[in-house]
């Protein structure tokens, strides 16, 4: 029990890696979500097909399989990635595919009259998207993005299997060094839960801030 503080430090180091992975993965996921989500609504068949293939591929196989594929098979093609890079890549691409459907759904949920108003105001397709559609759609996306971010946080535990020293990995280290199982695993479960709570709280307050001034507009 006296050495527990030292092991706690180890677990907190893991928590930093988990947070880092979650943040970097979320950024990549966000970029992919908008690229693929808007791509699916494109006028051009090639873009639509590419976006659909990306989404179906990454939603069709699990993050674990993708991670192993990125980590073990890509080096054979000459692309060698560190565990952290492989983790961010797999997490970001995987969650990005799920979030892309959210982007598409949110954009499609904006009423026809908004598009008609864009045409009436002589806005170009891109202008209409940028100034009229996306600001409204963003608010619709936000709660689901929060859920996706929590899914991403949970998925980060899988990177421990490619020897990246995240929370789960450190818990395994503590387990093998002390033989104590209850303490490390309970500690990391609580840490994961607190991180998930922070994400959902952050998204909710972001949503409140963005909804400010839209009271009369939203139906």
Nearer to other proteins, 136 or 157 (CB): 157
Of the candidates 141, 84, 89, 79, the one whose C-alpha atom is nearest the C-alpha of residue 110 is 141
In 3-state terms, the chain is what percent helix, strand and coil (to 5)?
Answer: 85, 0, 15
Nearer to other proteins, 107 or 174 (CB): 174
Applying CB under 8 A, the span of 104-112, 115-123, 163-171, 201-209 interacting with other proteins comes to 163-171
Distance between CA atoms of 79 and 98, rounded to whole angstroms? Answer: 25
Judge whether 123 and 132 are in contact, CB under 8 Å. yes
Name every residue whose Cβ is closer than 8 Å to that of residue 95 and which is 6 or more positions away in sequence. Answer: 25, 26, 29, 148, 149, 151, 152, 155
Binding status of residue 154 toward other proteins by CB under 8 A:
yes
Nearer to other proteins, 32 or 150 (CB): 150
Binding status of residue 148 toward other proteins by CB under 8 A:
no
Which one of 22, 26, 170, 172 is in contact with other proteins (CB under 8 A)? Answer: 172
Binding status of residue 201 toward other proteins by CB under 8 A:
no
Nearer to other proteins, 127 or 205 (CB): 205
Which one of 156, 164, 165, 174 is in contact with other proteins (CB under 8 A)? Answer: 156
Binding residues for other proteins restricted to 56-95, rule: CB under 8 A: 56-57, 59-62, 64-66, 68-69, 72-73, 76-77
Q: What is the 3-state secondary structure (H, E, C) of 2-30?
A: CCHHHHHHHHHHHHHHHHHHHHHHHHHHH
Nearer to other proteins, 127 or 181 (CB): 181
Which one of 30, 33, 137, 150 is in contact with other proteins (CB under 8 A)? Answer: 150
* Nearest-10 crossing angle of helices 83-109, 4-39: 50
Which one of 7, 54, 145, 192 is in contact with other proteins (CB under 8 A)? Answer: 192
Pull the structure tokens for residue 6. Answer: 């030292």
Of the candidates 78, 93, 77, the one whose C-alpha atom is nearest the C-alpha of residue 152 is 93
Backbone torsions φ then ψ of 62, nearest 5 degrees: -80, 160
Chain positions contacting other proteins, by CB under 8 A: 56-57, 59-62, 64-66, 68-69, 72-73, 76-77, 150, 153-158, 160-161, 167-168, 171-172, 175, 181-182, 185-186, 188-189, 192-193, 196-197
């Amino acid at each position: 029990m006296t050495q527990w503080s030292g092991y706690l430090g180890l677990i907190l180091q893991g928590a930093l890696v988990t947070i880092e992975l979650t943040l970097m993965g979320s950024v990549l996921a966000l970029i992919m979500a908008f690229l693929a989500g808007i791509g699916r609504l494109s006028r051009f068949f090639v873009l639509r097909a590419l976006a659909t293939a990306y989404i179906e591929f990454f939603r069709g196989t699990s993050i674990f399989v993708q991670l192993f594929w990125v980590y073990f098979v890509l080096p054979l093609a000459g692309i060698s990635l560190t565990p952290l890079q492989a983790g961010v890549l797999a997490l970001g691409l995987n969650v990005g595919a799920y979030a892309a459907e959210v982007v598409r759904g949110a954009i499609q949920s904006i009423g026809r009259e908004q598009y008609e108003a864009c045409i009436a105001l002589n806005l170009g397709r891109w202008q209409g998207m940028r100034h009229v559609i996306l600001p409204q759609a963003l608010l619709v996306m936000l709660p689901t993005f929060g859920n996706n971010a929590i899914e991403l946080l949970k998925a980060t535990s899988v990177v421990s299997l490619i020897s990246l020293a995240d929370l789960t990995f450190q818990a395994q280290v503590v387990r093998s060094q002390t033989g104590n199982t209850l303490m490390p695993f309970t500690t990391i479960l609580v840490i994961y839960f607190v991180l998930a709570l922070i994400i959902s709280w952050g998204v909710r307050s972001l949503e409140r801030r963005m909804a400010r001034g839209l009271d009369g507009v939203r139906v």
